[in-house]
Each structure stands twice: as structure tokens, then as C-alpha cells.
């Protein structure tokens, strides 16, 4: 979640919010027909991702998540819905709003052939988060980003022995408190999976989107507004990796490695052109009462025309890692510890920051 919210934060400043850093359903940790409630206390450094005015704060945490599913055996169809709501209330600053992320996804799928499935889905994402936009320590400037994005998508998946491919297309609209920043997105993805062994797979996907803004104007190569031109951007990407399930020290383990490259293009002047290369690692361990999870990613973003304050092309490098450990203390309860770290180094000072947090809580399911 941290990675997703933060990616959206910076993408908003650069010309649009892109909340997804991964599939939203990956954030739900319950099975079909289950729900859970989590609560806890934590502490976060640099809550507002500021380079010059960091604010550290304790916070209270509340999360609700669940999955419901209905199978229609005679017709070979199924309906599944998942939801997630996370809220963090910070204590340090009285006027700092809660950090809230919400997601709902409902999908209806049907097996059209022996090895093929067609699914249609509706999704809704909500985000409320504050961040610091101060350029001068004497002139404090906080911005509250509130956004919501409904979307529709269609997906076809087919299986043949050890080979699987999935093709999807979707449309969504992002709404902000200031409607001039609203935009519409048409996205697509084709993914290929190949089972190389028991529990092992290789995957490769190609993806992209076309995005049109409602009223945000484009800029020329020097950054000046083109008042008669509404901004539009396109992106193409490719992602590949390896996943493996295995036993480790008597525990069930899963390891996934991936590499993701994306190229964003400004349809007008090229001012927002950017290439991004990301490496990711996810590792999880599960025992009878214990669960461990580690996710690490590194992203290198290079702008093709924008210049930084040092006179060179703008660039940034970001490390994000998270660790979670949970232990069951009964049939319905467990305790968990979550630690996150996020560091961005950029030759544009405003986009350099470091933020760390730790959270201790209990979950009922």
C-alpha cells in the first residue's frame, strides 16, 4: 500500500495520479467468504514526504477487508467481490487529515470453453492523503490530495497444459477535488505464464494506457503552459519475472522476482516524457502459527527533456521495502508487526525524501 500511495503522490505532481503499483487485490489477506478487522498503533517519520519540513508522528491504525464469492455450478460461472479500507490517524499535527485508502472490486466470470474464461469487473479506488509542497522553510505549504477512481474492465484467460495467457482491457476516470486535474484512462495488458516445474513459473506481460485530461494544459519543452492545448499522455511497458513455491526450514515459502520497464510519452511537446525501470522482490514464509513477508523494490526514473536545478536531465532513484510478521494467538486472533521504509534520491530537491514507519497491531478474522 505504501508504494502505491506514494507512487500516486509523485505521479500527481508530474502530470497525473497512477495509484496502482500492483494489483489492488494483492492487498487483501483473507480468503473467499472471509473478512477481518485490524487495529493498532504505529509511528512514522516524515509523514508528509517533505524534503525541508519533515513531520514525525504517532498514529492509530484501522483496517477492514474481506472477500465474498458465489459459484454458479450449473452454468460454470462465479461472482467474487473484495474490499479493503485502511485508515491512519496522525497525532502530531491537529489539522493533518487522516490518511485513507479504500478499494472495492467486483467480478463476474464464466468459463466459455473448457480452457477459456471471460470476466467483467467493476472497481472503485479512493485516496485521501496530505503531503508537503514547501519550497521555503518560511513558507509552509501543505496539500491534501483527495481522489477517487471508478473503472470497468474485461478479461479473457485461457489455459493449455503448462501455458496460460491473459488479455484485459479497461477504462476508468479519476476525479479530484479540483476538477481541472480529472482524467480518463484506457488501459490494456497481455500476460503470458509458463509453468516450468511444480510450483515454479515464468511470466511476461506487455501493457500500456492512453490518458486524456479534462482541463490540465500541456507544457512546452521549457515548462511554460500551452494554454490552448489540453494534456494527454501515453505509456507502454513490459514486465517479466520468475515465481517459485518451495519448502524452507520446514515452512511453506514463495519467492517472486520481477523487472518492469515503462516509457511515458507526452503527446504534445515531450515535456513529460519519462522512462522508468523497476526491480522487485517478494518473499513470504508461512508456518502453522507464524507468517513472514518481505517486499523490496528499486525504481530508476529518467526524464528525457525536463531539466533539474543542477542543469542536468531530471532523474530519481527510489528504494521501498516492507516487512511484516504475524503470529496466531487463537483461532480468530493474531498479532502483527509491520515495518516500512521509503527513500527517494533526486537531482530535483523537492522530490528527495526519506520516510520510515513501524506498526504493531492485532487482527480478528
Say how far apart CA 109 and CA 153 lie, in whole Å: 12
Say how far apart CA 21 and CA 7 lie, in whole Å: 7
More confident residue, 235 or 31: 235
Report the pLDDT value the prediction gives residue 330, as an integer from 0 to 100.
86
Report the pLDDT value the prediction gives residue 25, as an integer from 0 to 100.
52
More confident residue, 91 or 33: 91
Burial of 179 (0-12, 13-18, 19+ CB in 10 A): exposed
Please state, rounded to an integer, the average pLDDT across all residues of the chain: 88
Report the pLDDT value the prediction gives residue 6, as an integer from 0 to 100.
39
- pTM for the whole thing? 0.86
CA torsion through residues 215, 219, 224, 230, sign: negative
pLDDT digits (tens, 9 = 90+) for 104-160: 999 999 998 888 999 999 999 999 998 887 776 667 778 888 999 999 999 999 988
Q: Which domain does 269 fall in, by range?
A: 2-364
pLDDT digits (tens, 9 = 90+) for 163-195: 999 999 999 999 998 888 899 999 999 999 999
Lowest mean pLDDT among 20-34, 271-285, 299-313, 348-362: 20-34
pLDDT at 12 over 80: no
pLDDT digits (tens, 9 = 90+) for 322-344: 999 999 998 899 999 999 999 99
pLDDT at 355 over 70: yes
pLDDT at 249 over 60: yes
pLDDT at 17 over 70: no
Report the pLDDT value the prediction gives residue 2, as an integer from 0 to 100.
31
Write the CATH number for 324: 2.40.160
Q: What is the mean pLDDT of residues 197-201?
A: 89
pLDDT at 57 over 60: yes
Question: How many residues can be counted in the chain?
Answer: 365
pLDDT at 10 over 70: no
Report the pLDDT value the prediction gives residue 136, as an integer from 0 to 100.
66
Q: What is the mean pLDDT of residues 316-322?
A: 95
More confident residue, 154 or 96: 154
Lowest mean pLDDT among 32-36, 117-121, 350-354: 32-36
Domain count, the chain: 1
Question: Could you write out the DSSP letters of every residue in 194-210?
Answer: EEEETTEEEEEEEEEEE
Tally of CB atoms within 10 A around 88: 21
Tally of CB atoms within 10 A around 130: 22
Q: What is the mean pLDDT of residues 279-304?
A: 94
Report the pLDDT value the prediction gives residue 18, as an integer from 0 to 100.
35
pLDDT at 30 over 50: yes
Among 49, 15, 46, 23, smallest CA distance to 176 is for 15
pLDDT at 101 over 90: yes
Say how far apart CA 236 and CA 339 lie, in whole Å: 32
Report the pLDDT value the prediction gives residue 133, as an integer from 0 to 100.
76
Amino acid at each position: 500500500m505504501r508504494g502505491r500511495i506514494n507512487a500516486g503522490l509523485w505521479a500527481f505532481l508530474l502530470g497525473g495520479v497512477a495509484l496502482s503499483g500492483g494489483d489492488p487485490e494483492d492487498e487483501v489477506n483473507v480468503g473467499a467468504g472471509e473478512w477481518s478487522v485490524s487495529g493498532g498503533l504505529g509511528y512514522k517519520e516524515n509523514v508528509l514526504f517533505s524534503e525541508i519540513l519533515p513531520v514525525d508522528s504517532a498514529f492509530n491504525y484501522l483496517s477492514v477487508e474481506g472477500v465474498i464469492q458465489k459459484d454458479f455450478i450449473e452454468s460454470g460461472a462465479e461472482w467474487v467481490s473484495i474490499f479493503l479500507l485502511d485508515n491512519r490517524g496522525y497525532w502530531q499535527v491537529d489539522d493533518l487529515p487522516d490518511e485513507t485508502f479504500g478499494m472495492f472490486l467486483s467480478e463476474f466470470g464464466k468459463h466459455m470453453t473448457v480452457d477459456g474464461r471471460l470476466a467483467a469487473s467493476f472497481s472503485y479506488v479512493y485516496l485521501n492523503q496530505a503531503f508537503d509542497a514547501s519550497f521555503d522553510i518560511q513558507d509552509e505549504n501543505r496539500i491534501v490530495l483527495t481522489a477517487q477512481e471508478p473503472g470497468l474492465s474485461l478479461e479473457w484467460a485461457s489455459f493449455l497444459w503448462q501455458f496460460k495467457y491473459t488479455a484485459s482491457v479497461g477504462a476508468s476516470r479519476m476525479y479530484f477535488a479540483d476538477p481541472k486535474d480529472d482524467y480518463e484512462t484506457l488501459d490494456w495488458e497481455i500476460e503470458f505464464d509458463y509453468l516450468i516445474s511444480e510450483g515454479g513459473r515464468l511470466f511476461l506481460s506487455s501493457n500500456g494506457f492512453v490518458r486524456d485530461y479534462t482541463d490540465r494544459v500541456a507544457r512546452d519543452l521549457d515548462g511554460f503552459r500551452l494554454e490552448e492545448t489540453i494534456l494527454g499522455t501515453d505509456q507502454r511497458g513490459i514486465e517479466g519475472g520468475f515465481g517459485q513455491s518451495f519448502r524452507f526450514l520446514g515452512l511453506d515459502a514463495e519467492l517472486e522476482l520481477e523487472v518492469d520497464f515503462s516509457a511515458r510519452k507526452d503527446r504534445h511537446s515531450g515535456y513529460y516524457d519519462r522512462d522508468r525501470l523497476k526491480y522487485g522482490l517478494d518473499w513470504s514464509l508461512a508456518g502453522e502459527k507464524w507468517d513472514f513477508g518481505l517486499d523490496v523494490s528499486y525504481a530508476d526514473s529518467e526524464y528525457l527533456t525536463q531539466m533539474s536545478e543542477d542543469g542536468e536531465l531530471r532523474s530519481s532513484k527510489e528504494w521501498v521495502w516492507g516487512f511484516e510478521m504475524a503470529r496466531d494467538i487463537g483461532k480468530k486472533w493474531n498479532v502483527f508487526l509491520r515495518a516500512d521504509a521509503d527513500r527517494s534520491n533526486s537531482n530535483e530537491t523537492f522530490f528527495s525524501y526519506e520516510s520510515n514507519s513501524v506498526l504493531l497491531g492485532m487482527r480478528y478474522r
